[in-house]
Amino acid sequence: MAKAAQAKKIETAFEPVVEFNKMMVETVEAVFNMQMESLQTYTKLGLDNLNASLHVRNVDDMVAFAEKQKELAQEASDRFTSDAKALADINTRLVDETRTLAENNLKTAMAAAKAA
């Protein structure tokens, strides 16, 4: 029985570590997925722009291509802003979850100390 009680204490002691590791893995996965999606978007923007440049044959085509560059710059700027916000949201979530985990662990430790 003593071994079972000791095993339970060890398991309880490591619960916060396991929870924190889960949060970190989820955060890394979210950042990775966001980066992959961004990479695909930026790559498509760049390749589409390169392909469009291949169709410039005269002055009118050049003017149209130049006008399209303004739209492309705005689209890229909007995407940069969106990506920055998404990354900030992921960070905020991690900070909030970590704070909650720490507060809960402190309460648990205080209760255990009082019970002992």
pLDDT of residue 12: 81
Query: 87 is written with which tokens?
Result: 């990354």
Query: 94 is written with which tokens?
Result: 């991690």
Interval 65-79: pLDDT, tens = 999 999 999 999 999
Between CA 29 and CA 49 the distance in angstroms is 30
pLDDT of residue 4: 83
Q: Judge if pTM exceeds 0.95.
A: no
CB atoms < 10 A from the CB of 66, how many?
A: 10
93 burial type by CB count under 10 A (0-12 exposed, 13-18 middle, 19+ buried): middle
In this structure, are residues 78 and 22 in contact, taking their beta carbons and an 8 Å threshold?
Answer: no
